[in-house]
Structure 1
Amino acid sequence: MGCKQVFKALDILKKNGFKTTKKREEILRYLFEADRYTSAKEVYQHMNKLYTGISYDTIYRNLNDFSIHGVIEETELNGEKKFRFHCSHDNHEHHHHFICTNCGSTKEINMCPMGYFEDQLADCKITGHRFEIFGLCANCQ
């Protein structure tokens, strides 16, 4: 299942003009297997073990590109940008997340509070939203 989702993400990138490379594939595989929000530094440390001398800027640039094209998600956690493999490539179901502020693990929240806010913002055009709840998961409490 993981390979399928990684290859689907690579296909999205290819359709947006990016070459498929082993390094890009490994970054996506790492994020998929981590199944949590991770920092660019964590991704860099993993990649540097496999590709000694790879630059941090290369990792960060790829993470940013992946985020722009929707194959990974990003959030800010404890003042640092964190990234995770996009969890809804297959089903495109709308959902939100609980994010552990200690380990970065996530749980899907399959409820959306936007109806409440749309009523309050009737004179505004909403173009997107993200709803995240932060706290400690059961393992970190």
Structure 2
Amino acid sequence: MNKNEALILLRAKGFKHTDKREDILELFEESGGYLSAKEIQTALKDAYPGISFDTIYRNLSLFKKLLILEETELDGEKVFQFHCTEHHHHHLICLRCGKTKTIEVCPMQDLSKLDPDFKVTGHKFEIYGYCKDCQEEIRRSHVKTERAGVH
């Protein structure tokens, strides 16, 4: 999914085009990873000084319902990214920057053999860690801290 596909889907389902909706979708297109409602509010505060969490969550809920966005939880907070539509896959998710990387392996292929009588109707598989860039930032931060004599 991308911003243009999302806007077409919204129109097709009878929802109004608003600047706020378009700007929220633009943020997801630019991010390449997961965003929280707080990050969205912070990014839009200059353009929409009075934008509330209620407005943001209402739009996020609509986008999730229409399969424009998918949701997960990181550190106890709901975060969202564009719904993946290409094919069945899973993600590596950076806990620092929220960027995701697609992994093509699906563990369900093997797990389904455990109980052939159990009908799986859906699943979610995510691996959390730190991307290469964030690992480097964390390492540099630790080096600066050590040089400063802070432990």
Higher relative contact order (CA 8 A, sep 6+): 1
Give the equivalent residue in structure 2 for 1:138: 132
Distance in structure 1 (CA, Å) of the matches to 2:88 and 2:9: 19
The count of aligned residue pairs is: 135
Give the equivalent residue in structure 2 for 1:50: 47
Give the equivalent residue in structure 1 for 2:103: 109
Q: Deviations over 1:48-95 (max 9, x none)?
A: 21112121110011112111211112110011001112243xxx2111
Q: CA deviation at 1:14?
A: 2.7
- Residues 1:33 and 2:30 are matched in the alignment: yes
- TM-score (ref. length: structure 2): 0.82
- TM-score (ref. length: structure 1): 0.88
Give the equivalent residue in structure 2 for 1:77: 74
Give the equivalent residue in structure 1 for 2:142: none
Q: Deviations over 1:97-117 (max 9, x none)?
A: 000111111111012111112
- What is the one-letter code of the residue matched to 2:50? G
Range moving further from structure 2, 113-122 or 68-77: 113-122
* 1:27–1:103 CA distance, 2 compared to 1 (3 A): same
- What is the one-letter code of the residue matched to 1:82? V
Gaps of 5+ in 2: 136-151
Q: CA deviation at 1:27?
A: 0.4
| 8 Å CA contact 2:41, 2:53 repeated in 1 | yes
After the TM superposition, list the runs of 4 or more consecutive aligned residues in structure 1 that deviate by more than 3 angstroms.
none
CA RMSD of aligned residues (A): 1.6
